[in-house]
């Protein structure tokens, strides 16, 4: 009869868990040994727990099924907490296996003893469980997988004491039965249909799974038939976009711009989304962004089938025959000039983006023009920073590349955020993943310079400014990448960047391009920032001209 760890690994494999991202310690050694008993489960070593949790997040975003993490005690879970927060906000299924001291060892309060359950509840509010008996371990694991996979996806945490892991008498369990999500009920559909038919300016806000093809097409049919505006949430978990799909404008990051987008909307319909709120509170500014006269209705909650619910609404509105407006194929030209800027990097991405690529966007301020330059590019998926905890992008790239080995992954990362999980490069090299990481090296937390002014901070002196500056020493990402086994190059001109990106796309495998650029927001007036930080798919022509003058001389 297998021990607990062997039975647990077999149970996870039975449940369709095909990858385990690991950062193990002593308490997890029996689980590590058991990994060899399940040939269908891939084990991927990560040098930091935040890489493991972010990789599991990226994997699940692309497959819709959970990967497992293997973490060492409460401290290891704590190290991975930021990217589990992003997964929770993105409604992404993840199964954490967190090792613990043997049950009889807990009373001695050894150096690594901690309250793991309390730590876990920050990111696993619906499922945290400590197994106590080897014979029941696999039933606990099935419950964890079922919780993670139930609609909407969530982070489930199973705590595995060492003696439960090494104990004899483990009994593997079959896969759990996962019930499909229900559709929106008829009353909700009819209420939304009535509000749209009543006239006035209506908009649909899509989030979560509503940003994939079938839901996008249904929303576009409603837009074409009824004149409804369609928005996407600011930070999508996964958004399908590009030529041949409906183009959807994202709600702006800056509250001021979001209020402009929403100011004429009389009825806002939520589909797997929440009503927009500002990312932070600001003195004298609104937190809840729909105006006071806007009626907010929910078509479907995150626990319901977004595409199916929109299909019901299409039928209720008689929009089945409407022709959805689709993005036409288009690419920007090759960027020119002697000075590389963040805008020109984004332009080069749009110029070269291959079919079926996956873009990971954690470029922060440097990615302001990415949506504009890729709106008509070949079809691709976009993953963004759902929970706002930086350090997600490079780990997400690991998970996405393992989930979709036949698809190129381009990760656009700010220099400051990349340093949170720079260890990802080692795993990318070790696993030989088809990832091109672009690091925008502007030696600044650029967006925070804007926020410093927006929050109304006064008397900003050199000590304060130094907290947002990455000079002295300037980070050398090409050298860091080379030290971790990733082929890397440092570029300073548009031609150098475009050639480097073209080379990386022709030669699959790990690549890093360090793009030395000025801060994307340098020299810009604050009144222009709402147009920039909104990352809108359709930037008005006058704004585009101003951008060209300001950041692409």
186-316 has the same fold as 4-166: yes
| For residues 117-136, average pLDDT | 97
In percent, the amount of the chain with pLDDT more than 90 equals 84
Read off the pLDDT of residues 303-337 as tens digits, 9 standing for 90 and up.
999 999 999 999 999 999 999 999 999 999 999 99
d(CA 177, CA 158): 19
Q: Which residue has the higher pLDDT, 463 or 393?
A: 393
pTM of the model: 0.92
User: At residue 399, does pLDDT exceed 60?
Assistant: yes
| Contact residues for 161 (Cβ-Cβ < 8 A; gap 6+) | 27, 99, 100, 101, 102, 103, 130, 131, 132
Of 182, 183, 224, 181, which Cα lies nearest the Cα of 204?
224
Mean pLDDT of the chain: 92
Which H or E element spans position 151? none
pLDDT level of residue 551 (50, 70, 90 thresholds): very low
| For residues 531-547, average pLDDT | 41
| For residues 8-33, average pLDDT | 97
| For residues 149-173, average pLDDT | 97
Looking up tokens 């930021």, which residue turns up? Answer: 82
| For residues 535-548, average pLDDT | 40
Read off the pLDDT of residues 286-297 as tens digits, 9 standing for 90 and up.
999 999 999 999
| For residues 188-213, average pLDDT | 97
- Domain assignments of the chain as residue spans, ordered by start: 4-166, 186-316, 342-551
| pLDDT at residue 216, as a whole number | 98
| For residues 363-377, average pLDDT | 94
Give the N- to C-terminal CA distance of the chain in Å, as an integer.
71
| pLDDT at residue 461, as a whole number | 80
Q: Provide DSSP, 378-434.
A: SSEEEEE-SS--SS-HHHHHHHHHHH-TTS-EEEEEEHHHHTTSTTHHHHHHHTT--
Secondary structure (3-state) at 514: strand
- Class at the top of the CATH hierarchy for domain 342-551: alpha beta
| pLDDT at residue 549, as a whole number | 40
| pLDDT at residue 525, as a whole number | 42
| pLDDT at residue 452, as a whole number | 66
d(CA 87, CA 95): 11
| pLDDT at residue 521, as a whole number | 61
| For residues 267-274, average pLDDT | 98
CATH topology of domain 186-316: Rossmann fold (3.40.50)
d(CA 375, CA 353): 11
Give the gyration radius of the chain's Cα atoms.
24
d(CA 366, CA 521): 8
d(CA 532, CA 72): 41
Read off the pLDDT of residues 331-344 as tens digits, 9 standing for 90 and up.
999 999 999 999 99
Which pair of structure tokens corresponds to residue 217?
Answer: 């097409």
User: At residue 280, does pLDDT exceed 50?
Assistant: yes
pLDDT level of residue 458 (50, 70, 90 thresholds): low
| For residues 239-254, average pLDDT | 95
| For residues 385-402, average pLDDT | 97
User: At residue 545, does pLDDT exceed 60?
Assistant: no
| pLDDT at residue 22, as a whole number | 98
pLDDT level of residue 446 (50, 70, 90 thresholds): low
| pLDDT at residue 72, as a whole number | 98
Give the relative orientation of helices 541-551 and 342-352 as an angle to the nearest 10 degrees.
120
Looking up tokens 């967190």, which residue turns up? Answer: 98
| pLDDT at residue 526, as a whole number | 44
Q: Does domain 4-166 have CATH number 3.40.630.30?
A: no
| For residues 63-92, average pLDDT | 98
| pLDDT at residue 449, as a whole number | 63
């Amino acid at each position: 009869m297998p021990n607990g760890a062997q039975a647990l690994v077999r149970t996870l494999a039975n449940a369709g868990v095909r990858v385990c991202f690991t950062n193990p310690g002593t308490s997890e050694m029996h689980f590590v040994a058991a990994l060899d008993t399940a040939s269908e489960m891939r084990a991927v070593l990560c040098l930091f727990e935040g890489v493991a949790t972010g990789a599991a997040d990226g994997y699940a975003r692309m497959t819709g099924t959970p990967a497992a993490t293997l973490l060492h005690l409460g401290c290891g879970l704590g190290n991975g907490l930021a990217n589990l927060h992003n997964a929770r906000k993105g409604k992404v299924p993840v199964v954490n296996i967190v090792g613990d001291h043997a049950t009889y060892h807990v009373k001695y309060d050894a150096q690594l003893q901690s309250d793991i359950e309390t730590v876990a509840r920050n990111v696993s509010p619906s499922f945290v469980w400590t197994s106590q008996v080897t014979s029941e371990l696999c039933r606990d694991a099935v419950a964890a997988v079922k919780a993670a996979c139930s609609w909407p996806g969530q982070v489930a945490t199973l705590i595995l004491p060492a003696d439960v892991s090494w104990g004899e008498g483990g009994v593997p369990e079959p896969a759990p039965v996962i019930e499909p999500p229900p559709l929106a009920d008829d009353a909700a559909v009819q209420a939304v249909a009535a509000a749209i038919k009543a006239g006035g300016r209506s908009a649909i806000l899509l989030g979560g799974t509503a940003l994939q093809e079938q839901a996008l097409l249904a929303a576009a049919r409603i837009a074409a038939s009824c004149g409804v505006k369609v928005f996407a949430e600011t930070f999508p978990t996964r958004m399908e976009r590009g030529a041949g799909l409906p183009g959807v404008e994202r709600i702006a990051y800056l509250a001021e711009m979001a209020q402009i987008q929403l100011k004429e909307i009389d009825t806002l319909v939520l589909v797997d989304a929440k009503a927009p709120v500002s990312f932070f509170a600001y003195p004298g500014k609104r937190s809840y962004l729909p105006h006071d006269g806007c009626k907010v209705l929910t078509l479907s909650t995150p626990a319901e089938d977004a595409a199916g619910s929109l299909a019901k609404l299409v039928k209720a509105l008689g929009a089945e025959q409407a022709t959805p407006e689709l993005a036409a194929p288009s690419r920007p030209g090759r960027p020119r000039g002697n000075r590389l800027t963040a805008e020109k990097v984004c332009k080069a991405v749009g110029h070269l983006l291959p079919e079926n690529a996956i873009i990971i966007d954690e470029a922060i301020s440097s990615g302001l023009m990415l949506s504009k330059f890729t709106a008509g590019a070949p079809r691709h998926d976009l993953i963004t920073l759902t929970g706002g905890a930086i350090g997600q992008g490079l780990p997400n790239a690991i998970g996405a590349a393992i989930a979709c080995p036949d698809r190129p992954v381009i990760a656009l990362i700010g220099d400051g955020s990349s340093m949170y999980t720079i260890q990802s490069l080692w795993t990318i090299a070790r696993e030989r993943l088809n990832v091109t990481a672009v690091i925008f090296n502007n030696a600044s937390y650029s967006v925070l310079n804007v926020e410093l002014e927006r929050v109304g901070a006064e008397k900003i002196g050199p000590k304060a400014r130094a907290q947002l500056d990455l000079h002295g020493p300037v980070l050398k990402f090409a050298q860091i990448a080379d030290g971790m086994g990733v082929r890397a190059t440092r570029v300073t001109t548009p031609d150098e960047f475009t050639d480097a990106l073209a080379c990386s796309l022709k030669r699959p495998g790990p690549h890093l391009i360090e793009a030395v650029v000025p801060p994307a927001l340098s020299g810009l007036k604050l009144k222009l920032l709402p147009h920039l930080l909104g990352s809108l798919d359709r930037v008005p022509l006058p704004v585009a001209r101003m951008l060209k003058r300001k950041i692409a001389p």
